Amino acid sequence: MKTTLDLPDDLVRRMKIRAVQEGRPLKRLAAELLIRSLNAAAVPMPAPSAVTKRVSVAANGFPVFHCGPKAPASRMTAEELIALEQQTQLEEDMRGADIAL
């Protein structure tokens, strides 16, 4: 899956150097570091709240967002949800790059 992260310049620079030193692609290094970090220690789940009751984790590890029957997302097709997500990501990227929409 492709995603965009806003990371500090120094961190990205260190990761790039390490990837070159180890002779592997940056994305593989980043994935392995994230996996190692997530596997390092189990974080206890927070107490249920209005937010956590609406979000659960499926067996495959993906988050599931539960919404009420009148929520706009409940009436949207998968294609519309994907288009909305892509538009939101584009707007975030443009703001991060300080480009006017």
**pLDDT tens digit sequence for 56-101:** 888 888 888 888 878 887 788 889 988 988 998 888 888 878 776 5
What is the chain written as a DSSP string? --------HHHHHHHHHHHHHHTS-HHHHHHHHHHHHHHH-PPPPPPP-TTGGGEEE-TTS-EEE---TTSGGGGS-HHHHHHHHHHHHHHHHHHHTT---
Q: What predicted TM-score, i.e. pTM, was given to this entire model?
A: 0.42
- Is 29 within 8 Å of 15 (Cβ atoms)? yes
